[in-house]
Amino acid sequence: MRVATGDLLRNWARIQPQAVAVIDGQSGQSISYSELDRQSDRIAWALYRAGVRPGSVVGYVMRDSIRVVILLYAVGKLGAAWTPLNPHMRAGDWERQLLHSGAGTVVADGTDPMAFVAVQNCRRIAWTDLDLGDSAHPFPLAVSSRDRAGILYTSGTTGVPKGAWHTHETLWGWNYSLLASVGITRDDRILNPYPLFHMGGIGFTLAALQTGASVVLETPFDASHLVCSARRWGGTLALMVPTMVQALLDLSYEERHGLGESALRHVVTTSAPLLSETRREMARAWPLMPVSVLYSATEAIFSLMRHEERTAPLCVGRPVFGSEIIVLDDSRRPCPAGVPGTVYVRGLSAFSGYHGAPDQFEAWWDEWITCFDYGYMDDDGYLYLVDREKDLINSGGEKISSLVIENALRTHPNIREVGVVGIPDRYWGEAIHAVVVPKGPGLTAEDVKAFARIHLPAYQVPKTVVFQQSLPKTSTGKVLKRELRERSQTVARE
């Protein structure tokens, strides 16, 4: 079976030509499967006339809209590969990504084209120029399932962003693992608030279209607007990060209640751990709405904790459809149940490799891939995610999970958010440092430590506590621990 993105779209355009494929939740604009197929053919011809060929890399920096979805399919039909640029990055970051990826073309929408002048041998095309093109016939599809579809740059929460390649086959596998595990069908309308320069925005959108469903683009994310969209468009399933969920919980009772009265039947959180207290708050706010937790990355999908299963802290469920998980120690020997180590996965969703990195950043071992997360399996095959390896705190020879401490502190009634990192300490090696976002005035560092002493063993109590109005995060809500550590170096020197 051919699983190139263009082939999949063309099949659905034949089966259900008038079915709604994509809705722009902000503008209300929508596009059917047949029109999406036709428009992407038209843009593919325009790109071809502009010099894009099979094997080329096409960068884009565009506002999240239906245009981006059209471009993704157009590039795929050409046998070229796309690489999205974060519109919020600086021009210098765009330049580095374009040079590293080898992009020969960049498509811009509403962005100063002079930002790309420094990129040698890179064509600059405005969407309005492509949109003037026309074609009376479909673009010929001759794309192999193993051709490269796209290169996505990881968020770089713990280091330098890496360019992860997905072929059409691995992209299909990433999508299918999601569809089969979560239970998405062609009757669903997926609310997707992820930006379309992120794997969540791209992957969840293409996954919905791969199964013949409709996707509602909800970017930029706004909690009140998402509630309105859920009711207006009949959204049945929403994928979001925990910070988005918290924004929904912070709405007024009337707005929260409106979400419960919508057609929404399932919420899936991903990209960051869902703290136990947040899960309990969701159960109180929407008692009839199932919540599942997806443990995924740009490189692969690992596991899913379904709503009807255990809710133990740090548990991220069992392997998703088509995947296997193992936990290995430092010598790459399997760890017994309950013993933590590095988490590896293999299966349908695994990406094809990092761009320009023959050693694969030491992420590959045989057929297994790791994102350097640290966790353990129990006797029933459930995975518990202890922490990112780089986020583990080594204090006095003890490896301490920042997530365990965050889970405990988050239950404090006056703490909205908390990030925990290790900072240099002459005696202990690293000391536990907590960065707290309070819900209101009056909370002190000693209050936080006293609360921690009640709920945590002594060696997990933060040595230092500081207060901030917000935590540094990526555009999808991941807390930038690296930046927290850098900001906290002054605390370590005091």
The confidence score (pLDDT) of residue 154 equals: 80
379, part of any domain: no
Overall average pLDDT of the 267-290 stretch: 84
Alpha-carbon distance of 59 to 102, in angstroms, equals: 9
* % of the chain beyond a pLDDT of 90: 63
34, part of any domain: yes
303, part of any domain: no
Please provide the average confidence, as pLDDT, over all residues in the chain. Answer: 89
Overall average pLDDT of the 475-492 stretch: 74
Residue that finishes a domain, picked among 182, 212, 244 = 182
Beta strands in 155-213 (DSSP E): 163-167, 189-192
Alpha-carbon distance of 399 to 376, in angstroms, equals: 14
Residue that finishes a domain, picked among 182, 199, 226 = 182
- CATH code (residue 462): 3.30.300.30
Per-residue pLDDT at 176 exceeds 60? yes
Per-residue pLDDT at 230 exceeds 80? yes
Overall average pLDDT of the 242-269 stretch: 91
244, part of any domain: no
Segments forming the whole domain that contains residue 27? 5-182
Residue that finishes a domain, picked among 151, 182, 213 = 182
The confidence score (pLDDT) of residue 115 equals: 56
Helix H, strand E, coil C: the string for 437-472 is: EECCCCCCHHHHHHHHHHHCCHHHCCCEEEECCCCC
429, part of any domain: yes
Query: Structural domain tally of the chain?
Result: 2
- Residues 74-117 pLDDT 10s: 999 999 999 999 888 777 788 889 999 999 999 998 655 555 55
122, part of any domain: yes
Average the pLDDT over each of 44-58, 173-187, 384-398 and give the range with the smallest value.
Answer: 384-398
Overall average pLDDT of the 248-274 stretch: 89
Query: What would the two tokens of residue 293 be?
Result: 């937790």
The confidence score (pLDDT) of residue 387 equals: 82
- CATH code (residue 142): 3.40.50.12780
The confidence score (pLDDT) of residue 112 equals: 56
132, part of any domain: yes
pTM of the model: 0.85
Average the pLDDT over each of 153-167, 315-329, 404-418, 472-486 and give the range with the smallest value.
Answer: 153-167
Of 274, 287, 493, 292, the residue nearest 403 (C-alpha): 274
The confidence score (pLDDT) of residue 310 equals: 63
Residue 187 binned pLDDT confidence (cut-offs 50, 70, 90)? very high
* % of the chain beyond a pLDDT of 70: 92
286, part of any domain: no
Of 169, 173, 132, 153, the residue nearest 61 (C-alpha): 153
Alpha-carbon distance of 494 to 475, in angstroms, equals: 32
Residue 158 binned pLDDT confidence (cut-offs 50, 70, 90)? very low
Residue 25 binned pLDDT confidence (cut-offs 50, 70, 90)? very high
Range among 27-36, 149-158, 303-312, 482-491 rated most confident: 27-36
Overall average pLDDT of the 200-209 stretch: 96
